[in-house]
Amino acid sequence: MRPVGALLAAALLIACASAPAPVAGRAGAWGYVRLVPREGVETGGGSRSYGDREVADAALVDYSKPGFAVVYAEGAAPAATPVRVAIADAATGPAFDPPHAALGAGGAITVANASAAPHVVSCPRAGLVRRLAPGESVEIAARDAGEWPLFLLDAPGEQANVFAAPGAFQVVSAAGRFAFADLAQGAVTLRAWHPRFPPAARAVTLAAGGSTRVDLELRVDRPAQGAGGAP
């Protein structure tokens, strides 16, 4: 059996390896976004639906996988990066690909018809309704932060949701992990957005040259974390 000191040292090495090194003179933050089930919801075994009759037909969320989620640093200037959403032919009909995406507020959303037929795309927030021929595209300026939903009017129920982050952002990994390496030192609030769960937030203080772990929980059975600006 290994000495306790060796085991502790190994654990510290693993923890340090998980923390990204920040840019020189800047601060880092990293952590995980986790989904927390509503009290009384069975997340494993037999039940595959919610106990509440009003939502009995809704697909049960896989709480072990956060799915698409975005973490952003409030107050940090976002990069106005563009994002592209395609209309693609699928086995069930035309579909948006990807169904979820993110960009910095002020960036541009390009919707491109990559299918073999014309389709009518709508973005209510931009006041847009446009018929796109195969190979045609349209650009939407996401000037403000928040959700920018897209719809295919000739394919009922087909929707994509693009989130425009008001701060520097990261899309979480399949495991829910995110990491920032170029934030300003001092007080900052990290916020998480998810297409199906209320937002969450945590206020932390970051030190230059260090990387702070910040985990965020998304759940529907309580008010959004940090709604008033504090965790």
Give one DSSP letter per residue of 67-136, joined into a string: -S-EEEETTSPPP---EEEEEEEETTEEEEESSEEEEETT-EEEEEE-SSS-EEEEEGGGTEEEEE-TT-
> Lowest-pLDDT range, 36-45, 116-125, 197-206, 216-225?
36-45
* Res 226: pLDDT: 43
pTM above threshold 0.85 = no
* Res 97: pLDDT: 98
Distance CA 127, CA 118 (A): 20
Residue 3 domain-assigned?
no
* Res 95: pLDDT: 97
Calculate mean pLDDT across residues 112-123. Answer: 98
For residue 60, name the pLDDT band (cuts at 50, 70, 90).
low
Residue 198 domain-assigned?
yes
Can you tell me which residue has the tokens 């008010």? 223
CATH number at residue 146: 2.60.40.420
Could you count the other beta carbons within 10 Å of the beta carbon of residue 22? Answer: 24
Q: What is the CA radius of gyration of the chain?
A: 21
Residues 106 and 147 in one domain: yes
User: Where does a domain end: 136, 165, 194?
Assistant: 165
Residues 73 and 171 in one domain: yes
- Residue of 56 and 167 predicted with greater confidence: 167
Task: Give the tens place of pLDDT for each residue, 189-202.
Answer: 999 999 999 999 99
- Residue of 228 and 29 predicted with greater confidence: 29
For residue 20, name the pLDDT band (cuts at 50, 70, 90).
confident
CATH number at residue 199: 2.60.40.1120
Residues 71 and 174 in one domain: yes
Task: Give the tens place of pLDDT for each residue, 121-177.
Answer: 999 999 999 999 999 999 999 999 999 999 999 999 999 999 999 999 999 999 999
Residue 15 domain-assigned?
no
Residue 45 domain-assigned?
no
Residues 72 and 144 in one domain: no
Distance CA 108, CA 139 (A): 6
Residues 101 and 209 in one domain: no
Q: Reduced to 3 DSSP states, what percent helix, strand and coil does the chain have, rounded to the nearest 5?
A: 10, 45, 50
> Lowest-pLDDT range, 1-15, 66-80, 152-166, 202-216?
1-15
Q: Tell me how many domains the chain contains.
A: 2
Which domain covers residue 124, as residue numbers? 83-165
Residues 222 and 113 in one domain: no
Mean pLDDT (the chain) is 85
Residue 9 domain-assigned?
no
Residue 17 domain-assigned?
no
